[in-house]
Amino acid sequence: MRGAVLYAPGDVRVEERENPAIIAPTDAIIRVSATCVCGSDLWDYRGVNEVTQPTPAGHEYVGVVTEIGDEVKNIGVGDFVVGSFFASDNTCEICEAGYQSRCAHAEFVGAGGAQAEYLRVPLADGTLVATPGMPDDDLIPSLLAASDVLGTGWFGAVAAEAGPGKTVAVVGDGAVGLLAVLAAKQLGAERIIAMSRHASRQKLAREFGATDIVEERGDEGVARIKELTGGYGAHSVIEAVGTQESMMQAIRSARPGGHVGYVGVAHGVELPGEEVFFAEVHLHGGPAPVRRFLPELVQLIWDREIDPGKVFDLTLPLDEAAEGFKAMDERRAIKTLLKP
Residue type, 297: L
Kindly tell me which residue out of 143, 187, 240, 279 binds a copy of itself, with binding defined by CB under 8 A. Answer: 279
Q: Name which of 137 and 270 has its Cβ closer to a copy of itself.
A: 270
Binding flag, residue 230, a copy of itself (CB under 8 A): yes
Q: Name which of 234 and 318 has its Cβ closer to a copy of itself.
A: 234
Contact assessment for residue 282 and residue 259, using Cβ atoms and an 8 Å cutoff: yes
Q: Please state at what angle helix 290-302 crosses helix 149-159, rounded to 10 degrees.
A: 110
Contact assessment for residue 194 and residue 200, using Cβ atoms and an 8 Å cutoff: no
Phi–psi pair at 295, nearest 5 degrees: -55, -45
What is the spatial distance between Cα 201 and Cα 320, in angstroms, rounded to a whole number?
24
Structural element, H or E, at residue 224 = helix 218-228
Kindly tell me which residue out of 21, 23, 48, 104 binds a copy of itself, with binding defined by CB under 8 A. Answer: 104
Binding flag, residue 286, a copy of itself (CB under 8 A): yes
Binding flag, residue 102, a copy of itself (CB under 8 A): yes
19 Cβ contact list (under 8 Å, min separation 6): 1, 117, 118
Report DSSP state, residue 134: P
What is the spatial distance between Cα 235 and Cα 229, in angstroms, rounded to a whole number?
9
Q: Name which of 211 and 244 has its Cβ closer to a copy of itself.
A: 244
Binding flag, residue 192, a copy of itself (CB under 8 A): no
CB of 97 to a copy of itself, least distance (A): 5
Binding letters toward a copy of itself, positions 255-274, x by CB under 8 A: xxx----x--xxxxxxxxxx
Q: Name which of 4 and 95 has its Cβ closer to a copy of itself.
A: 95
Beta-ladder partners of 116: 3
Binding flag, residue 283, a copy of itself (CB under 8 A): yes
CB of 248 to a copy of itself, least distance (A): 11
CB of 107 to a copy of itself, least distance (A): 15
Of the listed pieces 9-17, 76-84, 146-154, 251-259, which binds a copy of itself according to CB under 8 A? 251-259
Phi–psi pair at 110, nearest 5 degrees: -65, -15
Q: Interface residues with a copy of itself (CB under 8 A)?
A: 93-94, 97-99, 101-102, 104, 230-232, 242, 244, 247, 255-257, 262, 265-274, 276-287, 289
